[in-house]
Amino acid sequence: MAENYDLIIIGGGPAGLAAGIYASRRKLKTLIVAKNIGGQAGYASQVENYPGYESIGGFELMQKFQKQAEKFGCGFKYEEVLEVKKEKDLFVSKTSGGEYKSLALILAFGMTPRNLDVSGEKEFLGKGVAYCATCDGPLFKNKIVAVVGGGNAALESILYLSKIAKKVYVVHRRGEFTGEAVLVDKIKNEKNVELVLDSVVTGIKGNKFVKSIGVENTKSKEKSEILLDGVFIEIGHVVNAEPIKKLVKLDENNAVIIDSDCQTNVPGCFGAGDVTNIKFKQIVISAGEGAKAALSAYKYLQRLQNKENPLFDWGKK
């Protein structure tokens, strides 16, 4: 028998957890279904731009969000969502652990790492190829690694790995970085960081474990091989839309299309955070969008029950 909720939130990152706090404070029977707590933010070694904290570990910040949601009565299931359907007025979420029904739904399950799509990438996953420096970095103490990418995620990984590894090569396809200038300055000051710019990885080689990467300079077309022990691929993220592709409208990047109230094209289904087509993937923005999605879901449920209260802050719209 499926368990019934007012609201199910799919995703346990900043958007999902903030939605959980707001929904539970409105006394909605709320369930967060997530594979893990924190999402990408949970892997950030240090977060220095979340207002109120000069510097805090990403996972520590996410644990605080979770504790706050639990305090107000939000439930949690650590399961993978396989498919979501709307049957009459109810959303049915099938997961690795069961089936749950809800009157409203918030999609907040973020994104998954983008693949480089080169030879050896799949073969050596977990044997030198990694997508998360905070998770796998400690395995490369005093070893030689490369980070591929030039955005904020790559820059943070480079900084983190430069404190652990003997040497960090940075392979980036452009001559300049897209991440924050403050982070770029920091990595340039690290003595064990070597920049390999205007260059792409052509393949990853090894025996049991990674031994080298092939690199090609995009301007000179010169090819070279870098001997190393690990490759961290930090080239952005993509939405895994499989569980919801039949439910809601997605854009050309598979992002969930929402309006300024976080409403999708399906009544009662809302979206928040990196899974949506909203610009700027930041913890503070995701948290704000999660709060907004929860308030919109509450308003939708009030309407369903014909109890809309004009005193609510959003009621003045």
**Residues at the interface with ligand NDP (CB under 6 A):** 44, 49, 114, 116, 148-154, 156, 173-174, 178, 235-237, 280-282
Q: How far is the CB of 154 from ligand NDP (least distance, A)?
A: 6
- Element spanning 236, H or E: none
Choosing from 6, 74, 117, 136, the catalytic residue is: 136
Q: Which of 302, 299, 293, 306 is nearest to 264 (CA)?
A: 293
CB closer to ligand NDP out of 151 and 271: 151
CB closer to ligand NDP out of 103 and 147: 147
Rounded to an integer, what distance in angstroms lies between the CA atom of residue 311 and that of residue 305? 17
φ and ψ of 76, to 5 deg: -135, 140
Residue 136 among the catalytic residues: yes
CB closer to ligand NDP out of 69 and 118: 118
Indicate the pairing of strand 90-95 with strand 81-87. antiparallel
Choosing from 74, 89, 117, 135, the catalytic residue is: 135
Contact 30, 5 (CB under 8 A): yes
Angle at 67 between CA 65 and CA 71, to 5 degrees: 120
Residue type, 24: S
Rounded to an integer, what distance in angstroms lies between the CA atom of residue 111 and that of residue 273? 9
φ and ψ of 216, to 5 deg: -125, 130
CB closer to ligand NDP out of 112 and 265: 112
Q: How far is the CB of 137 from ligand NDP (least distance, A)?
A: 15
Residue 135 among the catalytic residues: yes
Q: Which of 85, 82, 84, 112 is nearest to 97 (CA)?
A: 82
CB closer to ligand NDP out of 127 and 186: 186
Q: How far is the CB of 157 from ligand NDP (least distance, A)?
A: 9
Q: How far is the CB of 26 from ligand NDP (least distance, A)?
A: 29
CB closer to ligand NDP out of 283 and 294: 283
Residues 6+ away with beta carbon under 8 Å from 65: 14, 17, 18, 21, 287
Contact 244, 269 (CB under 8 A): no
Choosing from 132, 198, 251, 261, the catalytic residue is: 132
Chain residue whose CB lies nearest ligand NDP: 151
Would you state the structure tokens that stand for residue 137, as one six-digit string? 């970095």
Would you state the structure tokens that stand for residue 221, as one six-digit string? 């077309």
Residues 6+ away with beta carbon under 8 Å from 131: 113, 232, 233, 234
Contact 159, 187 (CB under 8 A): yes
Q: How far is the CB of 250 from ligand NDP (least distance, A)?
A: 18
Q: How far is the CB of 291 from ligand NDP (least distance, A)?
A: 19
Q: How far is the CB of 184 from ligand NDP (least distance, A)?
A: 11
CB closer to ligand NDP out of 205 and 237: 237
HSE-CB at 33 with a 13 A cutoff on CA atoms is 26
* Active-site amino acid positions: 132, 135-136
